[in-house]
Structure 1
């Protein structure tokens, strides 16, 4: 009887040891998964056709965080309605390149730069800090890049259109001011601010960079076209030293993409990483697996 009792206790002890090892293994796997998502790779779903045909609705894209460096939060008090981003970035393998496909937090809410953690976009970077970007008859032009930016076929289609063929609400672009009248066919030139740049501020710069200036200074910016002056909290100012790097992001589907043409530039801090692959894709219409897009590389797109 005593031997049976000891045998049962031994089996229970062995079961507890095995169970604890299994639990420890699951905890370790979960920790490794979290570390991978934070420092190495993460996956996002493409919901719209703004990057079509490069990215399609239903694509699951793998974002490489090691290229530009993982972003680490110093404050986890995230307001679902938006707030200030407090973070720092691990050193990456390289700087962002023109034509990189990038996932970033959408920066503009209610007329100001505002961080919402779960509101992310995927677009192509067509201008880096220090570049001057413009759109000429539907084509992206960058003073520091001689080749094609974005998807040339889509820009060919936009080039063939006239302004009257484009829905009025989609035609005009930021800063939506009649003194500039920029459109998706003809926009700019627009200089992309770089950290440390000292830029003279007239009414035009205050108009174009208003949200950036208000975000960096925390003060209200006004401008007057008649006097060609700008004021910050009612006090005239003539120059500004930018404290952040910015990027111009554009969808490949230039005729149907909500991007930097409409809402402006993306601060470097809002960038999540560079898209490297489509892991798999589910058709939005029927949920079926799109076999042609399983482990599809995007590094050369």
Structure 2
């Protein structure tokens, strides 16, 4: 957000509503200064509407406090004769227009304590709701409540790809907790309810990026830990052609392998953190070469052992993705001669040949990238950036962190020959403003993750995957087998 947009937002969301509130307080014989004192002004609104003072305690409950503020605002508007649904919506959504309008309107007067029986009896005709109004109020409340639950507590998510198999399968429906790491408050507040970044059917943007708020996260139960299965916004959506705001970038799900300050490396497909071998997910998959005696593999065996992405090499050999446990079981069949992991040795070119940071070679930020000789099975070592941590910038380190410095932390970065300039000043070091994470899919040879596009900033973290509440197999042969009953309500480890 530039300076002009920032000041416009201040005027719209703070100055104008406070001016309107000042005038409305004066109409009720309260001092206008009470309107601009945060929290205390809510207390005064309770007094003016006749609600009990203990409602202030409800403001301490995350999620519920938002609904309470809505209720207090509506009661407050009723004190001034604003009884219609349209007036309530206007007084909440367009406060910067309607609060000043009503505050300066000579015909708008304070009528009394709107929450009292006497007030309701006196204005019962105006307060009487039609059936349409009752339905409208119910729908609006349901939308607000559901939005608050999704934003602050828990949200449903579906697994769209095979990158987490066999830990998570395509068609698994999960609940993702916002409470564990602390709910991230909306950064793009003007958006269509229940649509993420694109409107269904019409394929237009489901948000307006004219207003973007700074990143803020409520206190959580814990930090992101190594081994957690995490939903986050895909960092690459910051680039062309999308240029999406942080909270409107595509949702991805991976397992956290590296946390801020860790030194991570992958050696022969084994992840090491600070020189110690990390726990390998028991249901994680890699690619194996399977040699047979020439006879065909029973399709039922392939299904039972979850052999995915099977590709025939010749009459006696095929390639498949599966778990280590399934590979061991496969070796026990008489027609199987060998089952060997397909591991790319250090320095070997990968089939995709675009691991981080080579994928960003020749860009404006990284015109020169050394040959680190990394691939998906032999990667690093690399230090995961930590908030407040300082790194030395040189030809070896700069390509690893250029994207963090420029794209995620909003600095202007230029490379002039062998010199690095940040915000117009020559720099030989940099101190990070955010924490970062290194994410990897459990299906190590079929996952687009941090090995390809780098680190995940903390402001991209959405929540922690908790459990599977439904699992649907679209490839099932019959309707009766569509639901994977054994996966329902399984906790995610």
Same fold (TM over 0.5): yes
Tell me, in whole angstroms, the C-alpha distance in 2 between the residues paired with 1:278 and 1:223: 51
SS of 1:96's equivalent in the other structure is coil
Partner residue in 2 for 1:160 = 341
Higher relative contact order (CA 8 A, sep 6+): 1
| Deviation, structure 1 residue 236 | 3.6
Tell me, in whole angstroms, the C-alpha distance in 2 between the residues paired with 1:150 and 1:73: 33
Aligned length: 281
| Deviation, structure 1 residue 245 | 0.5
Bigger radius of gyration among the two: 2
> Is the CA contact (8 Å cut-off) linking 2:265 and 2:273 kept in structure 1?
yes
When the two structures are superposed, what TM-score results if normalisation uses the length of structure 2?
Answer: 0.51
Shifted more, 29-38 versus 56-65: the winner is 29-38
Match status 1:251 vs 2:441? yes
**Residues 161 and 146 of structure 1, relative CA distance in 2, 3 Å threshold:** closer
Alignment of 1:175-194 (within 5 A): 175-176=357-358, 177-194=369-386
SS of 1:36's equivalent in the other structure is helix
Superposed CA deviations along residues 204-225 of structure 1, whole A, max 9, x for unmatched, are 111111111112243134386x
Tell me, in whole angstroms, the C-alpha distance in 2 between the residues paired with 1:188 and 1:85: 35
Partner residue in 1 for 2:398 = 206
Tell me, in whole angstroms, the C-alpha distance in 2 between the residues paired with 1:127 and 1:21: 51
> Is the CA contact (8 Å cut-off) linking 1:206 and 1:222 kept in structure 2?
no
Match status 1:272 vs 2:454? no
SS of 1:125's equivalent in the other structure is strand
Partner residue in 2 for 1:291 = 485
Q: Kindly indicate which of the two structures has a greater share of residues assigned to strand.
A: 1
Superposed CA deviations along residues 157-183 of structure 1, whole A, max 9, x for unmatched, are 59932438x983435510114521211
Q: For structure 1, which runs of at least 5 residues remain unmatched after alignment? A: 1-14
**Residues 223 and 131 of structure 1, relative CA distance in 2, 3 Å threshold:** farther
SS of 2:396's equivalent in the other structure is helix
Partner residue in 2 for 1:140 = 271
Alignment of 1:105-124 (within 5 A): 105-109=233-237, 110=239, 115=246, 117-124=248-255
**Residues 26 and 214 of structure 1, relative CA distance in 2, 3 Å threshold:** closer
SS of 1:261's equivalent in the other structure is helix
**Residues 16 and 48 of structure 1, relative CA distance in 2, 3 Å threshold:** same
Structure 1 residue aligned with 2:387, among 175, 195, 215? 195
Tell me, in whole angstroms, the C-alpha distance in 1 between the residues paired with 2:471 and 2:129: 42
> Is the CA contact (8 Å cut-off) linking 2:188 and 2:245 kept in structure 1?
no
Q: For structure 2, which runs of at least 5 residues remain unmatched after alignment? A: 1-127, 192-196, 198-204, 289-320, 322-339, 359-368
SS of 1:34's equivalent in the other structure is helix
Partner residue in 1 for 2:111 = none
SS of 2:397's equivalent in the other structure is helix
Tell me, in whole angstroms, the C-alpha distance in 1 between the residues paired with 2:455 and 2:160: 21
CA RMSD in angstroms, aligned pairs only: 3.4
Partner residue in 1 for 2:145 = 32
Partner residue in 1 for 2:301 = none
Q: Kindly indicate which of the two structures has a greater share of residues assigned to helix.
A: 2
